[in-house]
Homo-oligomer: A and B are copies of this chain.
């Protein structure tokens, strides 16, 4: 099916307002969009004809005649695919981007585009079988690598063999018969935080994702800053110390060579093997390799080596972030991703370095916080991405 789109800028504004603020009376909408009563009625009638909004009873009186309440059509549906290095999340939202259904499973992105996207469509089928998908107005997709936003495809993604220039947008658009937009996973998380998280209403902020690797979503002036080739926020290979460890990229001393899920697994396994951490050795006896979660467990149990790994990692993230805060002067920094599960010890170290190293004017009023959206930032952000497109006049 082909979904309807607003016909002009007034209709687009009304749709975004109803998406972000929920149902509103005609009087309230008129106050915000500065349209005359009659002009507003014309636009709302047209949106109703297009199946995008509906009238839902009368609002409380504001003194005069009671005004009817308008809301987005309850049948509006957006689909969100959040494809990570080792997982797929698929969700369905309504027009207000409330998550109606969300399924997730482990999946190795290195299996290539065809296998992974087929798997995502299978998972979507489950949600459809539950009756959650009467229609599809658009699909937003995040992938763990750089994306040409204009072309809707990954470009030379380092950890996604088989995905380079695969036409993700066009393939899924053809499959689902709806508009599709593709972006990298960190950008969609930032959009999720902007829509429903701690960054709601913050125009300039950074979302630092610490997962297997480390990336940054940049919101400038209320919109994602993607850079000229879509690689903005690729901070995992910023230098911490030239004399540091060798990185998979061929340089030395990159942030990811020091920290992130992969580096942490490496260091924890070494500490388990060389006997310096009895706690980590105990955990390693049970499984083939250690993960960030094991380090969190050992640290919580008071293991000194695990605590040191978390602290050193936080300091290195903090060093890089201090430079970015000096440069960008954000109003908020959100730390998210699997390794952010290391929690407040990690956060305390990051804060310590940033508050000490960045200019006082940049940090005087700068919260550095952990995400509160847990695993939902990505899918909410993917839905936000496509809804921004669908709720724009064609």
Please list the residues of chain A having a beta carbon within 8 angstroms of any beta carbon in chain B.
Answer: 146, 155-156, 203-204, 216, 218, 220-221, 223, 225-235, 237-239, 241-242, 249, 251, 319-320, 322-324, 326-331, 356-362, 364-365
Contacts and interface: CB of A to CB of B under 8 A. Distances in A.
B329 A229 contact: yes
Nearest to A229: B361
Given A220-B225, A239-B319, A356-B251, A326 B362 contact: no
A207 to B, nearest CB: 13
Most buried by B among A146, A218, A323: A323
Contact of A327 (B216, B360, B361, B365): B216
Contacts of A231: 326, 329, 359, 361-362
A364 B156 CA distance: 12
B228 A330 contact: yes
Count copies of this chain in the complex: 2
B229 A322 contact: no
Given A228-B331, A239-B323, 8 more contacts: A218-B328, A227-B328, A227-B362, A228-B330, A234-B327, A238-B323, A251-B357, A327-B328
14 contacts: A218-B327, A226-B329, A231-B326, A232-B329, A233-B327, A233-B329, A234-B326, A235-B326, A237-B357, A237-B359, A239-B319, A239-B323, A239-B357, A324-B327
Contacts of A331: 228
Nearest to A156: B361
A372 to B, nearest CB: 21
Nearest to A320: B323
A21 to B, nearest CB: 24
A228 to B, nearest CB: 4
A225 B328 contact: yes
A232 B328 contact: yes
A327 to B, nearest CB: 6
Nearest to A366: B228
Nearest to A241: B241
Most buried by B among A229, A322, A358: A229
Contacts of A360: 156
Contact of A229 (B216, B226, B242, B362): B362
Contact of A359 (B234, B322, B323, B357): B234
Nearest to A157: B361
B361 A155 contact: yes
